[in-house]
Structure formats: C-alpha cells, structure tokens
Homo-oligomer: A and B are copies of this chain.
Amino acid sequence: MLKLLSNQGVTAPKGFLASGIHCGLKKNNLKLDLALIYSEVQANAAGVYTKNKVKGAPIYITKEHLSNKKAQAIIVNSGNANTCNGSDGLVKAKRMAELQGKALRLKTSDILVASTGVIGVPLNIDAIKDGIPMLTERLSKEGYEDAATAIMTTDTYKKQLAFEFKIKDKVVTIGAMAKGSGMIEPNMGTMLSFITTDLNISGEMLSEALKESTKISYNRVSVDGDTSTNDMVLVLANGLASNKEIVEKNDDYYTFIDVLNTLNITLAKMIAKDGEGATKLIECIVSNCKSEKDAEILSKSVINSPLVKTAIFGSDANWGRVLCALGYSGVNINPDKVNLSFKSSVGEVEVCKDGMPLPFDEVKAKEILLKDEIQILISMNSGKYSSKAWGCDLSYDYVKINGDYRS
C-alpha cells in the first residue's frame, strides 16, 4: 500500500513548491540558509512545538498564525535561532512572515516561520529581506533539495522522504524534510520537521494526527519531553488529492496516521543517527513493563546515559551501565528480573539474565557492536507494556563540534 518515492521530499505532493538560497546568515557564502515551502492553494495546517520555557520568537508567531488552522507557506532560516532576543526577536519573526507574505501576495497570517542556529544574537532581518525576492522566484518542484539543505546546521546529510499511498481510489502523496543534530533532547540542537501532503483532511483531524504521531516518533529521540527552544513540527495538507475530506477518526484517518507514523519514525531515526558526532544509531526497546509510561522512561534513560553512549561508541558490551541507567530512571524496577541483550545486523548476544551476568563471547559481542545500528533489548519481566527510544553514541566529534559551536 505504502510506496516510497525515492529521492523525493516536500514537493512530491500535488501543488507544493520549494526553494532554498544563501542570504547571508551563515558566514560561508556557499551555504544555503533560507528555505521556503509553498502550497499553490491554502492548506489546512497543524503544528507541535517545544515545551521548553525558553522559546524562540518564531514559535510565538507560528502559533499565532496557526490559530485558524490554515497556512500556505513556511519560511525557515538557519544560522540564527532568533531566541532570547526579546521584543526585537518577535518583531523580526513577524516581519519575516510579512515580507514573505507580500512577495507571495498572501496574508501575513498564512505564512509560518521557523529559525534554527545560535541563541541570543540579534537576527539579521535585512539579509532575509534582501533574500526573499530570489527565494520566492526560485520556487519550483525541484526546489526540495535546496530547501532541505538550507535548514541544516551541524547535520551531516539532508533528511527528506516521500511516500505515496491510497485513500479509497485516490492516490495521496506525503513528503517531508527535517533537521536534527545536537544531542536533541534534553539539549539544544533544534529539531525541525516540515511535512506536506495533498491529503484532504480537516484542520482538527490533522492536528490530532500530528500530536498522536509526534508522541511515538520525535518525542522518543532521547529524554524527558524537554525539547530545545526552537523545536517545531509543522504539517500542511492542501487537499489536492481530492479524497473525501477526513473529518473524523474513520478508516481513512487510520490509514493516514499509519503513513504519518512511518514517515515520522523514519525521520526521527535519521535525526538520531545524525546526532552531532554520532557514528551509530542506538535503538533501545524495553518490554514487559508494568505500564507504557514505565517502558518509555526506562528506554529514554538508557538512550540518554553518556556512559552507555560512550560504551557503544567504543563497541564495548558494558551492560552494567545499561542496568545502572534503568536503576536511576526513577521507575521502581526489580533489578533481579532484568534480561538484556545487544543486537545488530550480524547477530544478538545475551549478556544478562535475571539481573545476573551471562557468560558471553566477547569477540562476537564486539562484532555486533561494531555495526552502525545497534539495538539494546531489555525485558523487565514485570508486565506487558513496551516502548522504544532512539539515540546515538557519544564520540570525540560531539565534543569537537560543541566545544566551539559559535566560531
């Protein structure tokens, strides 16, 4: 049912165009730093935002513009987060929307705004103003590549994706681009994700679907629901696929949410794998817990432990650190019931049963942990609930990248 459209992104759905340019926010003038996504017709739209008490100015403006659950374009800059800039930040975020609206002959309130980059530095709005004409002119079906590039900060590769699926007899397309990097939660590497679709769905149902899907995708990359100051996921649905509008949780809604979950989980894993300095994707699956909440907290506690992360970086089956992270998670666990194994494409090694060490083949364990996608499989043997979380290892390059990010 679900068809991956290879090498496609936010312009795959009907009626969407995109572009990306260098306007001068990044010092290196070969680096794109301004992106635009545009729908030829007004779209239903929804957003989820950081829960951090310190919020970037764009968050406030975008929320305001989404109060009618409608939008037609998203302008995004990298190189400056426009955060901790007080009223000046809000004025400039609003101004970005206004300028882009004029260029597209749209109402300011139909433009959504996002920013990512350094905090506490005034935004160079003139550079954006000067860039907007070219940004607008370059809108095209091919522009998804430049747009996905222009939102990158320390990301090492573009993150985009598109799928085709069917709602009854109608072909529907969904596309997305995202950026991650940083260690993401509980830290500060902004996570942005923009989703476009030609699905016909009400603003209410779109918003509901996005919230539901975010919980089991982006929110499971690292810890705590504590997100960066600028994190944002936006979706535009312009209805051009001409399916009967989804206005309730019927079969069509569930078809859509399945696709949306697959899309978002795939992007979330891409983000985790491309964490700053990361060499490996870590997936932690905790099963047989007393509650889903317990399973979620436990899996995030493991994913977020610097000592687990460094052990995986070193391909070291130091499972005691995993047990330790379960122990300090805050969940009332019974250590004597824990089973644990490490798994990758070349096999699985059980290292701990009922909280006690198992003799294991160190050579085999090393071979498994040398792969670039590692699963940590944990059974708590205390119930029927399970959860997953994704993260990355902690390497020398993480320190290098973050030791002097501003220069």
Which residues of A are at the interface with B, using a C-beta cutoff of 8 A? 51-55, 81, 83-86, 118-122, 182-183, 185-189, 224, 226-229, 305-307, 310-311, 313-314, 316, 318-321, 323-333, 335-336, 351-352, 354-357, 394-396, 398-400, 402-407
Q: A53-B333, A307-B402, A402-B310 are in contact. Are A327 and B229 (CB under 8 A)?
A: yes
Most buried by B among A81, A354, A357: A357
One of B186, B326, B351 near A54 (C-beta < 8 A): B326
A45 to chain B, nearest CB (A): 26
Please state if B316 and A407 are interface contacts (CB–CB under 8 Å): yes
Please state if B395 and A328 are interface contacts (CB–CB under 8 Å): no
Residue in chain B with minimal CB distance to A87: B356
Chain B residues positioned under 8 Å from A407 (CB to CB)? 316
Please state if B403 and A324 are interface contacts (CB–CB under 8 Å): no
Residue in chain B with minimal CB distance to A351: B120
Q: A226-B328, A310-B402 are in contact. Are A84 and B355 (CB under 8 A)?
A: yes
A286 to chain B, nearest CB (A): 14
The SS class assigned to the A binding surface is: loop
Please state if A394 and B405 are interface contacts (CB–CB under 8 Å): no
Please state if A403 and B355 are interface contacts (CB–CB under 8 Å): no
Complex alpha-carbon distance, A121 and B83, angstroms:
48
Residue in chain B with minimal CB distance to A86: B356
A325 to chain B, nearest CB (A): 8
Q: A84-B352, A307-B188, A307-B402 are in contact. Are A324 and B118 (CB under 8 A)?
A: no
A323 to chain B, nearest CB (A): 5
Please state if B86 and A355 are interface contacts (CB–CB under 8 Å): yes
Q: A52-B328, A183-B306 are in contact. Are A403 and B314 (CB under 8 A)?
A: yes
Can you spell out 17 A-B residue pairs with CB atoms less than 8 angstroms apart? A53-B327, A53-B335, A54-B326, A81-B320, A84-B320, A84-B323, A84-B356, A85-B356, A86-B354, A86-B355, A118-B320, A120-B319, A120-B356, A186-B305, A311-B402, A311-B403, A313-B399
Chain B residues positioned under 8 Å from A311 (CB to CB)? 402-403, 405
Complex alpha-carbon distance, A402 and B395, angstroms:
10
Please state if A228 and B324 are interface contacts (CB–CB under 8 Å): yes
Chain B residues positioned under 8 Å from A229 (CB to CB)? 320, 323-324, 327
Most buried by B among A53, A118, A226: A53
Please state if B323 and A187 are interface contacts (CB–CB under 8 Å): no
One of B51, B185, B305, B318 near A187 (C-beta < 8 A): B305
Complex alpha-carbon distance, A357 and B84, angstroms:
7
Complex alpha-carbon distance, A316 and B406, angstroms:
8
One of B319, B332, B398, B405 near A53 (C-beta < 8 A): B332
Chain B residues positioned under 8 Å from A403 (CB to CB)? 310-311, 313-314, 316
Please state if A399 and B310 are interface contacts (CB–CB under 8 Å): yes
Please state if A314 and B352 are interface contacts (CB–CB under 8 Å): no
Chain B residues positioned under 8 Å from A313 (CB to CB)? 399, 403
Please state if A120 and B188 are interface contacts (CB–CB under 8 Å): no
Chain B residues positioned under 8 Å from A352 (CB to CB)? 84, 120
Please state if A54 and B335 are interface contacts (CB–CB under 8 Å): yes
Chain B residues positioned under 8 Å from A52 (CB to CB)? 324, 327-328
A86 to chain B, nearest CB (A): 4
Please state if B395 and A399 are interface contacts (CB–CB under 8 Å): yes
Q: A53-B333, A324-B119 are in contact. Are A307 and B224 (CB under 8 A)?
A: no
Please state if B310 and A119 are interface contacts (CB–CB under 8 Å): no
Chain B residues positioned under 8 Å from A319 (CB to CB)? 120
Please state if B406 and A399 are interface contacts (CB–CB under 8 Å): no
Residue in chain B with minimal CB distance to A183: B306
Please state if B402 and A399 are interface contacts (CB–CB under 8 Å): no
